[in-house]
Amino acid sequence: MNNLDRFSALYFRDFRLFLIGQLLSLSGTWMQSVAQGWLVYSLTKSPLYLGLVAAASSLPILFFTLIGGVVADRFKKRNLLLLTQALSIIPALLLGILTSLKAITVGQVALLAAFLGMVNAFDVPARQSFLVEMVGKGHLLNAIALNSAAFNGARIIGPVIAGLTIAYLGLPSCFYLNALSFVAVIISLSMMKVAGDTHIGSGGFLRGFSEGFHFVRKERDVLYIIILIAIFSLFGIPYMNLLPVFAEEILNAGPKGLGFLVSAAGLGAFSAAMIIAFKRDIKRKGRYMSVAGLCFSLSLLAVSASRVFWLSLLVLVFSGWGIVSLLATANSFVQLSVPDNLRGRVMGLYSFVFLGLAPIGNSIIGIMADILGTTQAVAISSLLCLVGAILFSIRHLKKNQ
């Protein structure tokens, strides 16, 4: 088997178009993420507001992602994605205009973040369940890994560009460039032949919800994966929103340093995605997820303790590897476990715990950081993740004895 065969999902034309559009668009999204964090911190100098704005962006996902999963099974997924990408241009443009006019307030940032969160509540389940329809089940893990590689490759490129753009061109430029980047996805989606299947008709949304919940409750392996991801979404992943505080107050690195901190985590995440893509499949997924969860938790604990910039960069690489190794493997396990007619709804539930619980986690870590201090809040969060990873690992070991 040659190396090209290992990246088998790339043989599908529609997936290649999808991936190119993703790489360009996500680079802009990460630029906006860094710029928005820096903007909020510049306006407020408060880690609490960083958490609250992050919560505003993910709160709609908490309430609407399950509906988004039902919609993903009911309508053509490509059409849904064309609509969500077009709507995503609006908040980016408004942020750029208001920041240019120096009329921006933290409340306006929160409202625009909430609007984008509403769009993402329908975008994410459709996007996740669309992958298998582009490449088939036999190439699904490879497609998930390559999609994750694009996401995290953009996570390396976008923040660095954002840091340099903020320093030399000004904050509004990041928002304008992000608005432009969504056009790339719209073009790539328009060129695809696959539109995505529909799996349910006009039955009620409550019935759609119950079918997805029933499947997850019955499949214990899927249930425990969902629980672990919920723990990490509540207490682990929100640490990213506090990186502006680490960059400015703890490591004295400024906006350029913030870009490199985010990119370091992205480098680890990109490496994880490429390793999984190169493997094509992971036979012992439970063990792989256990190791990844423990690596992320311990790395996050090290981030809270570090006061040296280069050391923080190093441990953030390991944290990025851990979280993406866990999420990509979990994503493929869940999708391969679910029947086709339930995929959108189960991925809606997956997205609910992965992204929808984020507003609660962002609020918790923001309040803890405001009361206890940023490093103490991240340390406590990492220990809670560590407990969850250990319990998951123990269950996996007992099951395979």
Q: What is the pLDDT of residue 206?
A: 61
Indicate if the pLDDT at residue 119 is higher than 60: yes
Q: What is the mean pLDDT of the chain?
A: 83
How would residue 175 be classed by pLDDT, with cut points 50, 70 and 90? very high
- Residue 351 CA to residue 354 CA, distance in Å, equals 5
The whole-number average pLDDT for the span 200-226 is 71
φ and ψ at residue 139, rounded to 5 degrees: -115, 15
Question: What residues contact residue 261 under an 8 Å CB cut-off, 6+ apart?
Answer: 159, 243, 246, 247, 251, 253, 312, 313, 316
Lookup result for tokens 């439970």? 286
Q: What pLDDT does 313 receive? A: 92
Mean per-residue pLDDT, 123-141: 80
pLDDT greater than 90 at residue 280: no
CA dihedral sign, ordered 22, 316, 58, 99: negative
Residue 317 confidence class, pLDDT cut points 50, 70, 90: very high
Q: Would you say 216 and 349 are in contact if contact means Cβ atoms under 8 Å apart?
A: yes
- Is the pLDDT score of 198 beyond 70? no
What average pLDDT does range 125-153 have in this prediction?
79
Largest CA distance in the chain: 64
Give pLDDT, residue 1. Answer: 46
Q: Torsions phi, psi of 282, nearest 5?
A: -120, 115
Contact of 83 with 47, CB cutoff 8 Å: no
Q: Which helix (H) or strand (E) covers residue 29, if one does?
A: helix 13-44
Report the sign of the C-alpha dihedral through residues 275, 128, 29, 384, in that order: negative
- CA-based nearest residue to 102, from 31, 42, 168: 42
Burial class (CB in 10 A: 0-12, 13-18, 19+), 332: buried
Least confident of 43-47, 195-199, 273-277: 195-199
Rounded alpha-carbon distances, angstroms, from residue 271 to 101, 145, 318: 40, 10, 10
Is there a contact between 197 and 69 (Cβ–Cβ < 8 Å)? no
pLDDT digits (tens, 9 = 90+) for 8-28: 788 888 888 888 888 888 888
| Tokens encoding 352 | 């609910």
Spatial separation of the C-alpha atoms in residues 227 and 400, rounded to whole Å: 20
Task: Check: CB of residue 264 under 8 Å from CB of residue 313.
Answer: yes
CA 53 to CA 49: how far, in whole Å? 6
The per-residue pLDDT for 153 is 74
- Tokens of residue 17, six digits: 């178009």
- Residue 89 pLDDT class (50, 70, 90 cuts): very high
DSSP-derived letter for residue 356 is I
Mean pLDDT check: name the lowest of 161-165, 357-361, 397-401.
397-401
**Residue 326: is its pLDDT beyond 80?**
yes
The answer to whether the CB of 208 falls within 8 A of the CB of 345 is yes
The residue behind tokens 């529909």 is 198
The whole-number pLDDT of residue 285 equals: 79
Instruction: Kindly state the average pLDDT of the residues 77-83.
Output: 89
Q: CATH code for 3-399?
A: 1.20.1250.20
Of the ranges 41-55, 128-142, 318-332, the best mean pLDDT one: 318-332
Tokens 């220990």 locate to 383
List the chain domain ranges.
3-399
| Residues in the chain, overall count | 401
